[in-house]
């Protein structure tokens, strides 16, 4: 007992300013509070602020003022433009010299590097640190986080990010977290289409969903899109296919990530074919009314032949 007490160390408590309290940001902020951190939240939307207040987040009237006492400033906003809006708002100048800026949004690599440059000009630590795991992962504090930035910024952020993640990977210098995120989600977008095409072909060949699932889930066709997110009803009761394709992970978000990957492939001359094709297919699906459905609902468009 004495030995246990001797080795027990209290986790450091930080003051966190959390900007962007939407579907992802709010549960992440709530888990920081649960871990004992002092969290101030801010969002441009009054509705988001009111919802956050009901879950125990103290809303900051002025984010620039709130930054002055923050050890970490986390952003979780829709796009790169919003991240730069925040970074250009005065929060960088207001924050203490030791504070670390952590952007958890999914944005393009070039803008992520621009955000790092702004932080560096103010001599502030910064990380791009997008997340994987969706709203359910955010609620359960089991996100996978992928970070880009200096080791110093990574070490400063680590104890805080531990409260919201099951895995935190330092991927390399600035922009590397976003690079890992778009590569991972490109795998997911492509593999979901592959799994959907296999089920549609199986149907044409008279194969039951369960039979194909039982074979492919334990064979070389096994992948996350199949065994954690099966796009047809039946084999995996918890997948969105059994719930009218309610997201989950909306097709609009998958399209956003695939477009980021396709733009990066073009900018770097990577010469990809399947990633940009997946972006094209999800774009058609989204334009035909699928944007707010779960991304696995693309199986219905493949079955109808509307994407061929």
The active-site residue out of 34, 81, 181, 259 is 181
Restricted to residues 141-180, the positions that interact with ligand NAD (CB under 6 A) are none
Binds ligand NAD (CB under 6 A): choice among 64, 68, 135, 183 = 135
Question: How many CA atoms are closer than 13 Å to the CA of 305, on its beta-carbon side?
Answer: 1
109 binds ligand NAD (CB under 6 A): no
Classify strands 125-128 and 131-132 as parallel, antiparallel or unpaired: unpaired
Give the C-alpha distances (Å, rounded to integers) separating 136 from 99, 142, 247, 296: 29, 9, 11, 16
3-state secondary structure of 213: helix
Candidates 82, 293, 67, 106; CA nearest to 196 is 293
State the Cα–Cα distance between residues 222 and 62, nearest whole angstrom: 49
105 binds ligand NAD (CB under 6 A): yes
Binds ligand NAD (CB under 6 A): choice among 59, 64, 134, 172 = 134
Q: Which two tokens stand for residue 270?
A: 């990577």
Give the containing element (helix H, strand E) for 125: strand 125-128
Confirm whether 246 is a catalytic residue: no
Candidates 122, 65, 117; CA nearest to 98 is 122
Stretch in the footprint of ligand NAD (CB under 6 A) among 36-44, 65-73, 148-156, 218-226: 36-44
Stretch in the footprint of ligand NAD (CB under 6 A) among 2-10, 16-24, 166-174, 192-200: 16-24
Stretch in the footprint of ligand NAD (CB under 6 A) among 91-99, 117-125, 249-257, 300-308: 249-257
Binds ligand NAD (CB under 6 A): choice among 13, 34, 36, 45 = 45
Catalytic center residues: 181
- Positions touching ligand NAD (CB under 6 A) are 19-25, 42-45, 48, 76-78, 82, 85-86, 105-106, 131, 134-135, 249, 253, 256
């Amino acid at each position: 007992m004495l030995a246990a007490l001797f080795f027990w160390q209290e986790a450091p408590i930080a003051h966190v300013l959390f900007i962007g309290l939407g579907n992802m940001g709010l549960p992440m902020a709530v888990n920081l509070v649960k871990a004992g951190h002092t969290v101030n939240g801010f969002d441009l939307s009054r509705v988001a602020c009111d919802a956050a207040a009901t879950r125990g987040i103290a809303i900051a009237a002025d984010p620039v003022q709130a930054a002055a006492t923050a050890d970490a400033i986390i952003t979780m906003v829709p796009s790169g433009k919003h991240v730069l809006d925040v970074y250009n708002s005065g929060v960088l100048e207001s924050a203490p010299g030791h504070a670390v800026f952590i952007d958890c949004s999914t944005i393009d690599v070039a803008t992520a590097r621009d955000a790092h440059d702004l932080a560096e000009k103010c001599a502030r630590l910064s990380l791009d640190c997008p997340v994987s795991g969706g709203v359910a992962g955010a609620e359960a504090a089991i996100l996978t986080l992928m970070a880009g930035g200096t080791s110093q910024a990574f070490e400063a952020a680590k104890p805080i990010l531990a409260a919201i993640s099951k895995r935190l990977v330092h991927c390399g210098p600035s922009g590397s977290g976003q690079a890992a995120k778009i590569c991972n989600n490109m795998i997911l977008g492509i593999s979901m289409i592959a799994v959907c095409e296999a089920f549609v072909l199986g149907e044409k060949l008279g194969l039951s969903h369960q039979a194909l699932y039982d074979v492919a889930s334990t064979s070389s066709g096994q992948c996350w899109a199949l065994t954690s997110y099966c796009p047809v009803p039946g084999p995996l009761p918890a997948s969105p296919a059994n719930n009218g394709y309610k997201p989950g992970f909306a097709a609009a978000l998958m399209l956003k990530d695939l477009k980021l990957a396709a733009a990066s492939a073009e900018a770097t001359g990577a010469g990809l074919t399947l990633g940009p094709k997946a972006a094209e297919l999800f774009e058609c699906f989204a334009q035909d009314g699928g944007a707010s459905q779960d991304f696995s609902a693309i199986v219905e468009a493949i079955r109808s032949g509307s994407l061929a």
